[in-house]
Amino acid sequence: MSEIDTSGGGGKGDGKVRAKKASTKIDMTPMVDLGFLLITFFILATTLSKPSAMTLNVPDKTLKEETEPIKASNVMTIFLGKDNKAHYIFGKAASEEPEVITVGFGYDLRKAILTEGQKVPADKFVVVIKPTKEATYRNIVDIMDEMTITKMKRYALVDELTPDEKILLKDKVKLDI
């Protein structure tokens, strides 16, 4: 038969049996591997946004064709101002002291273009777009989108204001030009 050893076990003599302490270090290698696998998956599975471009037709500078002057009664002039506002005049030149109407971009501007466009024959209607110093690049993109949405065939983007237009905008709209 076997005997039970009741001695202290040759240790420190207190007779208590202590459990072996496990290491407190965590192996992070599997988690890092999983992270890189997820990153790789999402990079390969994601569709990158494609750059979008706006089509803009410009007249050929080499062709010199005679055109008849455009009557002011057929022209809607839109001034792009600050705070995403557009100011427009219709049917009169700036020197004639026309009424300046202020609208916001989006539905209001689109409605104004369509409403004023119905007052004259479609082939005679012209929209002249004139950004001011307060206008942003986003305003220009928005107005070009409006021309596409409303299917305007004849419009012009002009970068300079006439002296009469500057006076009109200072007096009636209080733009700093």
Give per-residue pLDDT as tens, 138-166: 999 999 999 989 998 889 888 888 888 88
Which pLDDT value is given to residue 58? 73
Strand positions, DSSP E, 46-150? 75-80, 85-90, 101-104, 126-131
Rounded to whole angstroms, the Cα distance separating 104 from 121 reads: 25
pLDDT per position as a tens digit, 22-54: 777 888 899 999 999 999 999 888 877 787 777
Radius of gyration of the chain (CA): 37
Q: Which of 130, 36, 42 is nearest to 81 (CA)?
A: 130
The end-to-end CA distance of the chain, in Å, is 112
Average pLDDT over residues 12-18: 66
**Nearest 5°: phi and psi at 141?**
-65, -40
Strand partners, 85: 104
Please, what CATH class does the domain formed by 72-173 belong to? alpha beta
Question: Which two tokens mark 22?
Answer: 């496990």
**Do residues 103 and 109 lie in contact, with contact meaning Cβ atoms separated by under 8 Å?**
yes
At residue 109, does pLDDT exceed 80? yes
* Domain map (residue ranges) of the chain: 72-173
Angle, CA 78 vertex, CA 75 and CA 82 arms, to 5°: 170
At residue 70, does pLDDT exceed 70? yes
Q: Which of 168, 90, 99 is nearest to 132 (CA)?
A: 168
At residue 88, does pLDDT exceed 60? yes
**Do residues 164 and 93 lie in contact, with contact meaning Cβ atoms separated by under 8 Å?**
yes
Which pLDDT value is given to residue 3? 63
Q: Is the dihedral of CA 153, 159, 164, 169 positive or negative?
A: positive
- Report residue 94's pLDDT band, with 50, 70 and 90 as the boundaries: confident
